[in-house]
Amino acid sequence: MVQKGAVFAERPSAPATNKVSSSNQHNISSSFYGPMWRVLRRNLASEILHPSRVKSYKHARKWVLQILMDSIKSESKRNGDHHPVCVIDHFQYAMFCLLVLMCFGDKLDEKQIKEIEQVQHRVLFGYVRYSILNFWPRLTKIVLRSKWVEFLQTRKDQENVLIPLIRARKKLKEENLSKAKEDDQYVLSYVDTLLELQLPEQKRKLNEEEIVTLCSEFINGGTDTTSTVLQWIMANLVKYPEIQEKLYMEIKGIMKEEDEDGDQVEEDKLQKLPYLKALILEGFRRHPPGYLVLPHVVTEDVELGGYTIPKNATINFTVAEMAWDPKVWEDPMAFKLERFFNGGDGTDRYDHGDKKIGEVFDITGSRKIKMMPFGVGRRICPAVGLAMLHLEYFVANLAWSFEWKAVEGNEVDLSEKQEFTVVMKNPLQAVISPRITKGFCTLVLCNQYMQTS
Ligand code: HEM
């Protein structure tokens, strides 16, 4: 008897557009379930996404948060105070800065990051634009020649942008890595680990083109998805000011006088914020960034719900339908955080307020599956923990530092549009003003003023 999980863990054959140079372009998400997939996935999961490593990118997150705050402040002041800000570009840029730093280990300047952003967007949109080329490659190479040329040019441009960054890292490693490590800004990057990686079966290291493919997956896997969810969550905070207020009060409750940096919610405080956690979960439930996870293939005939699924059939899991199933979720289209608190849906313990935090809702579906925005099982997104941390950290700080309001006469519109992810059809615009009363900070200042006057 074969385990169902294993039966569903395979991917469809890699499309022809994955084979753009002499070597096949392996990435984790499109690899067959086998030794190559295992070695690549283990490298990412243990070298970069392990909680202890994730912690070491704390300074990177702080740096990016500052960039994000500064860009929002400066746009909101551009045409006089409280100018409405369209936030999605700021979110995307911030996520690029972060993922690019984790990938290449260097704080690149704005011009370099924009260059990577542009070429990666072309690659991302190419998944749809060039998918027709995979239909019958031998034929499309003749009848859709110009599209093939365009596609190959995109790949070339991508290599021209990313290979110099890979070589710079290689050079650093060869020349002076031990000195570089003494620098407190040093981070172990994804590229560093890929340069070290030995492919067990082929008994060789990865070549530059293969590293480009893996870096591209890393950057695109973590930027669009996270910035899309971030935008949906902030849109709901604007639409429902009472939720925003509750969140703000929760954060205020943990920001203490003795905090060195009262301006920022430090990431080790995030675990004390159950309402924030519920907000992120409800964001994923109500607005999953993908309606489907990546396609899976069954490795042999399997019975499921009275149907026989034949070997090699492609399976798409309808993530959004699961998250909106009225048999599982009460009033599923409503944005309600209470459903994640103790008793909210009868089973999961996730206490709030004075009560201690109970067992946290399991988004990985290891006990039971009620929603699966990251997939489940062997092919689950390896970056669940990182993505949750990024969202909690940025949402907490954006809500703590600013008050978010709808633009008068321009209410938040939650209509959707399918791009690489499911995005807001009308991107969020908000009036974003710095919080004047930041809990204890203001109280302390007030007290000091009263004592001296
Ligand atoms: C909000 C953020 C994210 C969401 C919603 C998300 C979602 C997903 C989903 C649905 C899958 C497919 C699961 C399946 O096939 O069953 C996946 C796979 C993957 N994700 Fe993510 N992801 C996110 C962030 C990231 C980040 C930050 C990275 C990299 C640092 C990443 C890297 C990957 C990789 C490498 C795979 C392929 C796993 C495999 O096939 O074994 N993702 N992700």
- CA 62–ligand 1 middle distance (angstroms): 23
**Do the Cβ atoms of 294 and 379 come closer than 8 Å?**
yes
- CA 37–ligand 1 middle distance (angstroms): 14
- CA 445–ligand 1 middle distance (angstroms): 45
The residue whose C-alpha atom lies closest to atom 20 belonging to ligand 1 is 381
Count of structural domains, the chain:
1
The residue whose C-alpha atom lies closest to atom 41 belonging to ligand 1 is 379
Phi first, then psi: give them for residue 185, nearest 5 degrees.
-90, -5
The residue segments making up the domain with residue 312 are 16-343+362-432
The residue whose C-alpha atom lies closest to atom 31 belonging to ligand 1 is 221
Domain annotation covers residue 180: yes
CB of 381 within 6 A of ligand 1: the answer is yes
Alpha-carbon gap, residue 364 to 381, rounded angstroms:
9
Q: Strand, helix or coil at 161?
A: helix
Alpha-carbon gap, residue 5 to 208, rounded angstroms:
34
Alpha-carbon gap, residue 276 to 393, rounded angstroms:
10
Ligand 1 atom with minimal separation from the 391 CA: 1
Ligand 1 atom with minimal separation from the 377 CA: 16
pLDDT per residue over 158-189, tens digit each? 999 999 999 999 998 887 666 666 666 678 99
CB of 102 within 6 A of ligand 1: the answer is no
Q: In 10 A of CB 301, how many CB atoms?
A: 13
The residue whose C-alpha atom lies closest to atom 17 belonging to ligand 1 is 381
Interface confidence, given as ipTM, is 0.98
CB of 223 within 6 A of ligand 1: the answer is no
Q: Which of 220, 229, 251, 221 is nearest to 91 (CA)?
A: 229
Strands (E), 293-347: 296-297, 302-304, 307-309, 314-315
Query: Sign of dihedral through CA atoms 216, 221, 225, 230?
Result: negative
Domain annotation covers residue 447: no
Among 49, 381, 391, 393, the mutation site with the greatest number of ligand 1 atoms within 8 A of its Cβ is 381
**Do the Cβ atoms of 237 and 401 come closer than 8 Å?**
no
The residue whose C-alpha atom lies closest to atom 7 belonging to ligand 1 is 374
Alpha-carbon gap, residue 69 to 90, rounded angstroms:
9
Domain annotation covers residue 133: yes
CB of 364 within 6 A of ligand 1: the answer is no
The residue whose C-alpha atom lies closest to atom 24 belonging to ligand 1 is 222
Domain annotation covers residue 21: yes
Phi first, then psi: give them for residue 315, nearest 5 degrees.
-115, 130
- CA 54–ligand 1 middle distance (angstroms): 16
Looking at residue 61, which CATH number applies to its domain? 1.10.630.10
Among 224, 374, 378, the mutation site with the greatest number of ligand 1 atoms within 8 A of its Cβ is 374
Count Cβ atoms within 10 A of the Cβ of residue 356 and give its class: 0-12 exposed, 13-18 middle, 19 or more buried: exposed
Domain annotation covers residue 413: yes
Which two structure tokens, joined as six digits, stand for 205? 């290291």
Phi first, then psi: give them for residue 84, nearest 5 degrees.
-60, 140
CB of 374 within 6 A of ligand 1: the answer is yes
Ligand 1 atom with minimal separation from the 372 CA: 10
Domain annotation covers residue 3: no
Domain annotation covers residue 196: yes
pLDDT tens string, the chain, 453 residues long: the values are 334 556 777 767 666 666 654 445 678 998 888 899 999 999 999 999 999 999 999 999 999 999 999 999 999 888 677 789 999 999 999 999 999 999 999 888 999 999 999 999 888 877 666 676 676 777 767 766 777 778 888 999 999 999 999 999 999 888 766 666 666 667 899 999 999 999 888 889 999 999 999 999 999 999 999 999 999 999 999 999 999 999 999 999 999 755 555 689 999 999 999 999 999 999 999 999 998 888 898 989 999 889 999 999 988 999 999 999 999 999 999 999 999 986 544 344 444 444 444 456 889 988 889 999 999 999 999 999 999 999 999 999 999 999 999 999 989 999 999 988 999 999 999 999 999 655 444 443 334 444 433
Which two structure tokens, joined as six digits, stand for 13? 């054959």
Mode of pairing for the β-strands spanning 416-418 and 85-86: unpaired
CB of 293 within 6 A of ligand 1: the answer is yes
Indicate the annotated binding residues for heme. Answer: 381
Alpha-carbon gap, residue 302 to 448, rounded angstroms:
72
Domain annotation covers residue 423: yes
- CA 307–ligand 1 middle distance (angstroms): 28
CB of 288 within 6 A of ligand 1: the answer is no
